[in-house]
Amino acid sequence: MAQTEVMPTTQIVGKLGDPCAMVIFGAAGDLTRRKLVPALYNLAKSQLLSREFAIVGVARAAISTEDFRNRMSQDIKQFATEPVDTDLWEWFTRRMYYLPGNFGDKNLYPKLKDLLDTADKDHSTHGNHFYYLATGADFSAPIVEQLAAVGLMEEDDRWRRVIVEKPFGHDLESAKALNQQLLQVARENQIYRIDHYLGKETVQNILALRFANGIFEPIWNRRYIDHVQISVAETVGVESRGSYYDQAGALRDMVPNHIMQLISLTAMEPPVSFRADAVRDEQAKILHAIQPLSSEEVLSKTVRGQYGEGLSGGQRVPAYRSEDSVPPDSRTETFVAMKLQIDNWRWADVPFYLRTGKRMPGHNTHIVIQFRRAPFVLFRDTPVENLMPNQLVLHIQPEEGISLRFAAKVPGPAMRLGAVDMNFEYADYFGTRPSTGYERLLHDCMIGDATLFQRADMVEAGWCVVSPALDVWKALPPRNFPNYAAGTWGPKEADELLERDGRRWRNFEK
Ligand code: BG6
């Protein structure tokens, strides 16, 4: 092959990915064009993608490799995170292949094997493969079984890995069954269960904040921390995903996965190293230490809501029950709040409040660490609302940063207090590098680092936390849905959940 290989680049950070071929099942879908291909392009641009690389797209659409390359070339113009370099993109498209077919069809897999042989030879991928399952959850296990049946999961000096997207089951039983099916044909260290929250810089930074600084760890415990709040608020409704979402609901969609990641990183003990299992062992311990809720506790410590019509960003928006593909009498929750306890020495008696919802007034993910109040005997004359306890807020998105709230003297002759915030924004220090959020995760898979991927036991532990709520909610359907207007912070019971404990949610509208 006498082609000039041009790979212009800007910066080099990190280790070069191994030579490999990536197979994307579901290559005609949104994830591929919006995230995966732009992320691979960014990796190429940063010289983190091996030159010995190929992509094979698999999907139902009956199109040719040429068509696939053309489609991707159109889509990248829309979804690239920065202007596309023509030479680099050219280099990239030359390593794209496409195979049409049905994932359930056994005959597809021998064809895939042949095509991979060609791609491996043309691009010297050393026979290393990773398979990205951007497909409906029902296909995960059957695809891996078929890959194994034709020898595409076999490893020798080549590696074979599979990236599985959530949902990992729809409850504890189905998650266990899925893990068992996968583990019958693959080893745990070949399975990369992806949670896109772990691709977010600020989520990874929780570890840096906690373990690279001497000042936080000594006070990161029940002696100093009053409670923790985790909020994942979205302004959007269910968009075009009504049929998936109505089966899932807010609890399944966000809590056992994304929110459990945030809890475990916030609460875990320092790992002995950043090796994948060292980190994941500590995360798993936290998930196991979360006290399961009894049926009575589900009633008093969880709140569910569904949005009615209302105002979002100044626009009138429909109720959840009027969204596309949602039944008009749907009982599915679009909001959930919970109070959890972590039963270990560090966190005993420190409540973790969490909430997530669609159609909130702000798009904002943050973690609030609220410290115990100082004894305010000296400030008896100060109005109570000015005596805010210290809060450390980890802003995950869209603003990425950390802020510390503390009391300061209001200038003037009297000793009066006001709450002030000391703010750090990542962009001010490090600039913002355009990213899809998938670069790090894809790259980690290419170098065999599973730290930011979920292990089977973590997935199951996450389901254990939410199972009691799912069971009780199923037995007792909600009486009063919809119970919050679009564009508000959820049902009033969510505020009462904290008010009963003398606490209050910190809301960020931006
Ligand atoms: C997905 C959920 O996993 O995460 C969606 O299925 C949700 O319902 C999304 O909107 C939120 O991700 P992000 O990165 O926008 O916070």
Per residue in 275-300, pLDDT (tens digit) is 999 999 999 999 999 999 999 999 99
Q: Which domains does the chain have, with CATH numbers?
A: 20-165 (3.40.50.720), 198-499 (3.30.360.10)
How many angstroms separate the CA atoms of 404 and 262, rounded? 19
Q: How many CB atoms are closer than 10 A to CB 281?
A: 17
pLDDT of residue 39: 97
Rounded to the nearest angstrom, the distance between the alpha carbon of 338 and the centre of ligand 1 is 19
258 is catalytic: yes
Q: What is the pLDDT of residues 371-410, one digit of tens each?
A: 998 887 777 777 766 678 999 999 999 988 999 999 888 8
Q: 239: burial class by Cβ within 10 Å (0-12, 13-18, 19+)?
A: exposed
Check residue 290 and report its DSSP letter. Answer: B
123, 196, 227, 258: which is the annotated catalytic residue? Answer: 258
Rounded to the nearest angstrom, the distance between the alpha carbon of 253 and the centre of ligand 1 is 8
- Locate the ligand 1 atom nearest the alpha carbon of residue 196 and give its number: 14
- Locate the ligand 1 atom nearest the alpha carbon of residue 253 and give its number: 6
pLDDT of residue 495: 98
Residue 25 · residue 135 · CB < 8 Å: yes
Q: What is the pLDDT of residues 12-53, one digit of tens each?
A: 468 999 999 999 999 999 999 999 999 999 999 999 999 999
Rounded to the nearest angstrom, the distance between the alpha carbon of 356 and the centre of ligand 1 is 10
User: Sheet of 20-25: strands edge to edge?
Assistant: 96-100, 53-59, 20-25, 129-133, 160-164, 191-193
How many angstroms separate the CA atoms of 148 and 185, rounded? 6
On the question of pLDDT at 326 being above 90, the answer is yes
Q: Band the pLDDT of 427: cuts 50, 70, 90.
A: confident
Q: Residue 58 carries which side chain, given as an amino acid letter?
A: V
Tokens representing 424 are: 């750090």
> What is the pLDDT averaged over residues 318-346?
97
- Residue having the nearest C-alpha atom to atom 13 of ligand 1: 197
How many angstroms separate the CA atoms of 407 and 438, rounded? 39
- Locate the ligand 1 atom nearest the alpha carbon of residue 232 and give its number: 16
- Locate the ligand 1 atom nearest the alpha carbon of residue 257 and give its number: 3
Which pTM was predicted? 0.93
Q: Residue 124 carries which side chain, given as an amino acid letter?
A: S
Residue 329 · residue 246 · CB < 8 Å: no
Residue with tokens 């909020």: 231
Q: Band the pLDDT of 466: cuts 50, 70, 90.
A: very high
> What is the pLDDT averaged over residues 498-507?
96
Q: Which residue, 9, 18, 287, 25, is CA-closest to 127?
A: 18
On the question of pLDDT at 58 being above 90, the answer is yes
- Which residues, in sequence order, are CB contacts of 240 under 8 Å at separation 6+? 324
Pocket mutation for ligand 1, best pick of 31, 168, 196, 366 (most atoms within 8 Å of C-beta): 196
Rounded to the nearest angstrom, the distance between the alpha carbon of 334 and the centre of ligand 1 is 12
Q: Phi-psi category of 251—alpha, beta or left, where left has phi over 0 and alpha has psi -120 to 50?
A: alpha
How many angstroms separate the CA atoms of 53 and 478, rounded? 52
Tell me if 165 CB under 6 Å of ligand 1.
no
Residue with tokens 């990239």: 92
- Locate the ligand 1 atom nearest the alpha carbon of residue 241 and give its number: 8
Rounded to the nearest angstrom, the distance between the alpha carbon of 129 and the centre of ligand 1 is 27
Rounded to the nearest angstrom, the distance between the alpha carbon of 71 and the centre of ligand 1 is 25
How many angstroms separate the CA atoms of 338 and 424, rounded? 29
How many angstroms separate the CA atoms of 162 and 185, rounded? 11
Pocket mutation for ligand 1, best pick of 166, 168, 195, 197 (most atoms within 8 Å of C-beta): 197
Tell me if 234 CB under 6 Å of ligand 1.
yes
- Locate the ligand 1 atom nearest the alpha carbon of residue 248 and give its number: 6
Pocket mutation for ligand 1, best pick of 204, 254, 366 (most atoms within 8 Å of C-beta): 254
Residue with tokens 């291909």: 37
Rounded to the nearest angstrom, the distance between the alpha carbon of 8 and the centre of ligand 1 is 33
> What is the pLDDT averaged over residues 397-424?
90
pLDDT of residue 8: 40
Residue 80 · residue 41 · CB < 8 Å: yes
Tell me if 195 CB under 6 Å of ligand 1.
no
